[in-house]
Amino acid sequence: MAQPTRLGGNALLAFILGFPILAGLAGTVLPAFGYLPALGGFDVTLAHFTELARQPHILRSVLTGLAAGLLTTVATVAIVGTFVAGFAGTPVFTRIQHVVSPLLAVPHAAAAFALAFLVAPSGFLLRLISPEVTGFTRPPDWLLPNDPLALTMVAGLVTKEVPFLFLMMLAALPQLALLRARRLAAALGYGPVAGFVVCLWPALYRQIRLPVFAVLVYSVSTVDVAMILGPQLPPTLPVRVTQWAGDDDLGARFLASAGAFLQLGVVVAAMATWIALEWVGKAALARVTFSGRRFARDGALRAAGALAMTGCAATIFAGLGLLTIWSVAGLWPFPDALPGNLTPKTWMRTLPQIRHPLLTTIALALLAAAFALVFAILLLHRNGAGGGQKSAAGYRLLYLPLLVPEISFVFGLQVLMLSAGVAPNFASVLAVHFLFVLPYVLLSLSAPWRELDPRFEKIAAGFGRSTLEILFTVRLPLLFRACLTALAVGFAVSVSLYLPTLLVGSGRLATITTEAVALSSGGDRRVIGIYALVQGLLPFLAFLVASLGPQLLFRNRRAMRT
Amino acid sequence: MYRRAGQIMAAALLAFCIAGKASATDPGNWEAVVAEARGQTVYFNAWGGSENVNAYIRWAGDEMKARYGVSVVHVKLDDTAKATATVLAEKTAGKDEGGSIDLVWINGENFAAMKRAGLLYGPGWATKLPNWRYVDYETKPTVLTDFTIPTDGLESPWGGAKLVFFYDSARTKTSDLPDSATDLLKWAETYPGRFSYPQPPDFTGSSFLKQVLTELVDDRAKLQRPADDATFAADVAPLFAYLDKLTPLLWRKGKAYPQNYADMKQKLADGELDIIFAFNPAEASSAVANGELPETVRSFVFSGGTLANTHFVAIPYNASAKAGAFLLADFLLSPEAQLRKQDPKIWGDPTVLSLAKLPASDRSAFERLDLGIATLRPDELGPALDEPHPDWMTRIETEWIRRYGAAN
């Protein structure tokens, strides 16, 4: 019997990820060119772009965001690259890896709040040394955070993007001949960093290139981090687009769409700049390689890399500790280093209200991550373990939702779902969460999936087992830990989604994150502290389960507890 | 262009509502409304940034469930304009029935925008609510005109608001306090870096600009009409001359601004700001009670008057549970709910009811309320200044961003 033509995994992926994004983009692009019938926009016009160009200081908003995004990406790649080059394969590496990994679970907004509480003139660091060292009895009038060059924002973004890129590099490392290359480079007299860069960096970078672009797009387009830490006069373009989208004057919606379209252009410009930087880097690397210079004494550079890595972790952990103290603080005036009295009042008041959004958050995150995992397994299975060139093209599609700025398509998506008669309910929000969660789940599962030694399956096939039997009895049990990790990653992504949850759910579905952002507009640090803690604790628990799960399930099979 | 289309659509919609099943949800027939509402779920979209307010809405929801069998779901917004955006998206998608919002907490700008785009149900339902008979529309004209725009019974009043300033009496001398916008500028010259206002278009920040404009404009009657293109620049010249002088004296020299009222409150507690303000006279008392501000915080107003207005609830044109929304709007107007709302231990928001119209027992309950240590008594709140037409606010915000939007 002839096999029916299989729908290729890539085509399926393209449809599931591509269709909603393209449709959402259409819902943004059409109003940008004047088409939005509900507001009387029937004519195609460039007037809204003219209006956009006339917005005061628009060029500066564009350039600040673009520069901050590029700087963040350069710094992130430099920090993670230096650290990996200097330490991959050493015990220090493993130790720092354990400190940095949990940071992936902390939502961007929570990390930004944490940093702001630390460095502000009325923040913890100054309280700690005031008035004894500084003589300040009142906070000094320093412009920090929200500095005009967006350096605090870059610092905030870097602390959050470093763990992401680091984990992406970790996934790619096993495919490099690390130890052999290290020995060879050392024998030739190279320092660890230079040896790694010359021998292994090009191969490593090829694998992490798309995650680097994801970092770039996120940094250029961020809204929540920019609102907390970024410059305010003027704010970056994505923040302004969000403001226009929420303007009382509904006519500003055309302007917002034009701005969202411009943001798409900014992202493209950022990518083009990055590609140019890649060429420069490539040429520089070639020069260094051919120059034969060994850079043997790189102790300071390696120390700087390790320091920067641990610094990111220390900042966020200290900030989270501070949020914890704020959540139980009574009155806490400057320059007291600690609150005068502690009270559980805020927790007592907040906990009963947290229950319902908490259940919604967990249900959404668990289901979205589980569906994404099942779908990812199906897709990887269809593509075959080898993957090869064809599936590599497919994996690039995964980055589609990460490479299109959220703000450029979520409003359009909302209009689309309503037009299709989809009610704003749990199921439709779940569908959108799935869309955002799937890429991350697939990304974190695909590397271990490709790595698994194909000989296990060949042996099983030799015993006459069917493909499905092999999948369930050999591959999945061997990849159990990887599956759990992918599930935890998906869980974390779902927990942190704000704009899609709010817009597609019409605000009816309250999650911890939507509540946290709504409350942050009220500015009470105590309540912000509680929500940020719960928001960060959830994914942390998911990762804990992922790391303990295999130990419990396979407690009598030592070899599978990896 | 779109404004006119919006008006036409609104008119068409109105005709549809009158011709359609309007009788079934007519607040004039209250028994039918109560019967129809039973079992409905009302999605109440309201700002969710304050635990006091959230707790109050939760209480109202519990009462509605117990008394009328109506479930109330508080959809917590960080900005009311999100609700406007949702209704707009539904209209874009042609969803003219079964909309996702049943009742929305609204202020003058949102109201003007939604009214103009035909996104509101009505008109006339609000004045037919049974508890409308207690509303003080004689001495509180802002109950009938929201920022000069006639409410036309499209929205039901919920609470009063008045601009009030706060300071920490432990740090700031009471004798130094400014008594007008001009005085405030002199105060800032003496104490640079200790005053600021939320960055427009934040509602409280824009209100500060309107306060200064109202005090300095040559003819206040102009502000009750849309701004005139021909004279706008001259009309606002005193305001911007004032701001040009004030800006370098502001906190962070005007290179950054607090984000909203709550942010200012935190900055007063941190010692970064010395004078802040809010649109609710009881905010400071409730913040003291919550341990957010020290007990030495007190209030003051300008003797020449400060802005006053009313906030409302409205029903989107495509609301699903209109009967339930009528019932909730009416309950929020009841003497019982209004008394609870004015209690600073619960919320502290001034009532829209006329004490003279209330039954004696309700009246004395209002009179017995302890308004808190940092709250001025109603007779100490000073004269009320009218809100300018929303058109002024929009234009001033645009001009503000042009002038001060890139201070860095």
Strands B306-314 and B384-385: parallel
pLDDT at A69: 97
pLDDT in tens, B329-366: 999 999 999 999 998 888 888 899 999 999 999 999 99
3-state percent breakdown (helix, strand, coil) of chain A, nearest 5: 75, 0, 25
Q: Which residues in chain A are closer than 8 Å to B199, comparing Cβ atoms?
A: 232-233
Pick from A80, A79, A96: nearest CA to A169: A80
Cα of B311 vs its chain's centroid, Å? 4
Pick from A427, A430, A396, A400: nearest CA to A500: A430
Phi and psi at residue A247, in whole multiples of 5°?
-70, 145
Task: List Cα–Cα distances, B97 to A25, B2, B91, B320, in angstroms.
Answer: 26, 22, 9, 7
CB contact under 8 A, A57 and B406: yes
pLDDT at A415: 65
> b/e string for A128-150 if b means 16 or more Cβ within 10 A?
eebeeeeebebbeeebbbbbbeb
Instruction: Return the SS3 of A212.
Output: helix
Any bridge partners for residue B299, and if so which? Answer: B166
Q: Which of A105-109, B99-103, B189-193, B316-320 has the lowest mean pLDDT?
A: A105-109
Task: Give the C-alpha separation, B89 to A86, whole Å.
Answer: 52
A122: nearest CA partner in chain B: B270
Alpha-carbon distance B342 to nearest alpha carbon in chain A (angstroms): 20
CB contact under 8 A, A345 and B291: yes
This model of the complex carries an ipTM of 0.78
CB contact under 8 A, A507 and B45: yes
CB contact under 8 A, B2 and A41: yes
Q: Which residues in chain A are closer than 8 Å to B50, comparing Cβ atoms?
A: 522, 524
Task: Give the C-alpha separation, A278 to A296, whole Å.
Answer: 25
pLDDT for residue B171 is more than 60: yes
pLDDT-based confidence at residue B407 (cuts at 50, 70, 90): low
Instruction: Return the SS3 of A422.
Output: coil
Sequence-separated (6 or more) residues with CB below 8 Å from residue A285: A197, A198, A201, A202
Instruction: Quote the tokens at residue A542.
Output: 């998911």
CB contact under 8 A, B78 and A521: yes
pLDDT at B159: 93
Task: Give the C-alpha separation, A248 to B113, whole Å.
Answer: 6
Q: Which residues in chain A are closer than 8 Å to B257, comparing Cβ atoms?
A: 232-233
CB contact under 8 A, A350 and B49: no
Strands B149-150 and B145-146: antiparallel
CB contact under 8 A, B407 and A353: no
Instruction: Quote the tokens at residue A373.
Output: 């995992």
A411: nearest CA partner in chain B: B89
pLDDT at B408: 55
Instruction: Quote the tokens at residue A552.
Output: 């419990």
pLDDT for residue B131 is more than 80: yes
Task: Give the C-alpha separation, A74 to A308, whole Å.
Answer: 14
CB B340 within 8 A of CB B350: no
Task: Give the C-alpha separation, A517 to B186, whole Å.
Answer: 37
pLDDT in tens, A25-83: 888 888 889 887 766 778 889 999 999 999 888 999 999 999 999 999 999 999 999 99
CB B192 within 8 A of CB B355: no
Task: List Cα–Cα distances, B203 to A138, B110, B394, in angstroms.
Answer: 28, 11, 11
pLDDT for residue B307 is more than 80: yes
What's the residue count for chain B? 408
Per the listing, tokens 């802005």 go with B307
**Closest residue to A143, CB basis, from B4, B255, B293:** B255
Task: Give the C-alpha separation, A521 to B198, whole Å.
Answer: 12
**Closest residue to A518, CB basis, from B43, B49, B259:** B49
Query: To the nearest 10°, the Cα dihedral for A120, A123, A124, A125?
Result: 40
Task: Give the C-alpha separation, B92 to B84, whole Å.
Answer: 12
Alpha-carbon distance A202 to nearest alpha carbon in chain B (angstroms): 41
Instruction: Give the type of residue at A508.
Output: R
Per the listing, tokens 């641990």 go with A310
Instruction: Give the type of residue at B252.
Output: R
Tally: H helices and E strands in chain A: 26, 0
Task: Give the C-alpha separation, B408 to B396, whole Å.
Answer: 20
CB contact under 8 A, A232 and B199: yes
Q: Which residues in chain A are closer than 8 Å to B293, comparing Cβ atoms?
A: 331
Q: Rounded to two decimals, what is the model's pTM?
A: 0.81
Neighbours of B31 (CB within 10 A): 7
CB contact under 8 A, A523 and B6: no
pLDDT for residue B164 is more than 50: yes
Task: Give the C-alpha separation, A40 to A479, whole Å.
Answer: 55
Alpha-carbon distance A331 to nearest alpha carbon in chain B (angstroms): 5
Q: Which residues in chain B are closer than 8 Å to A351, comparing Cβ atoms?
A: none
Q: Which residues in chain B are closer than 8 Å to A517, comparing Cβ atoms?
A: 78
Q: Which residues in chain A are closer than 8 Å to B265, comparing Cβ atoms?
A: 523
Alpha-carbon distance B297 to nearest alpha carbon in chain A (angstroms): 13
Instruction: Give the type of residue at A398.
Output: L
CB B180 within 8 A of CB B300: no
CB contact under 8 A, B259 and A523: yes
CB A201 within 8 A of CB A81: yes
pLDDT at A164: 87
Instruction: Give the type of residue at A400.
Output: L
Alpha-carbon distance A93 to nearest alpha carbon in chain B (angstroms): 41
Task: Give the C-alpha separation, A19 to A12, whole Å.
Answer: 10
pLDDT for residue B2 is more than 90: no
CB contact under 8 A, B78 and A57: no
Pick from A147, A199, A158: nearest CA to A176: A199
Q: Mean pLDDT in chain B?
A: 89
The three-state (H, E, C) secondary structure of A193-206, written as one string? HHHHHHHCHHHHHH
Pick from A311, A312, A309, A345: nearest CA to A326: A345
Residues of chain A under the 70 pLDDT cut: 1-9, 38-39, 246-250, 384-395, 411, 415-416, 418-421, 506-507, 518, 520-523, 550-562
Sequence-separated (6 or more) residues with CB below 8 Å from residue A354: A512, A515, A530, A531, A534
Pick from A350, A195, A279, A255: nearest CA to A50: A255
Q: Which residues in chain B are closer than 8 Å to A147, comparing Cβ atoms?
A: 408
The three-state (H, E, C) secondary structure of chain B, written as one string? CHHHHHHHHHHHHHHHHHHCCHHHHCCCCHHHHHHHHCCCEEEEEEECCCHHHHHHHHHHHHHHHHHHCCEEEEEEECCCHHHHHHHHHHHHCCCCCCECCCEEEECHHHHHHHHHCCCECCCCCHHHCHHHHHECCCCCHHHCEECCEECCCCEEEEEEEECEEEEECCCCCHHHCCCCHHHHHHHHHHCCCCECCCCCCCHHHHHHHHHHHHHHCCCHHHHHCCCCCCCHHHHHHHHHHHHHHHHHHCHHHHCCCCCCHHHHHHHHHHCCCCEEEECCCCHHHHHHHCCCCCCCEEEECCCCCEEEEEEEEECECCECCHHHHHHHHHHHHCHHHHHHHHCCCCCCCCCCECHHHCCHHHHHHHHHCCCCCCCCCHHHCCCEECCCCHHHHHHHHHHHHHHHCCCC
Task: List Cα–Cα distances, B212 to A263, A440, B165, B232, B240, in angstroms.
Answer: 36, 52, 14, 15, 10
> b/e string for B219-245 if b means 16 or more Cβ within 10 A?
eeebbeebbeeeebeebbebbbebbee
Task: List Cα–Cα distances, B174 to B167, B292, B297, in angstroms.
Answer: 9, 21, 11
Cis-peptide, bond into residue A145, ω within 30° of zero:
yes
Q: Which residues in chain B are closer than 8 Å to A36, comparing Cβ atoms?
A: 92
Count residue pairs from A and B with Cβ separation < 8 A: 192
Task: Give the C-alpha separation, A450 to B342, whole Å.
Answer: 65
pLDDT-based confidence at residue B15 (cuts at 50, 70, 90): very low
Cis-peptide, bond into residue A211, ω within 30° of zero:
no
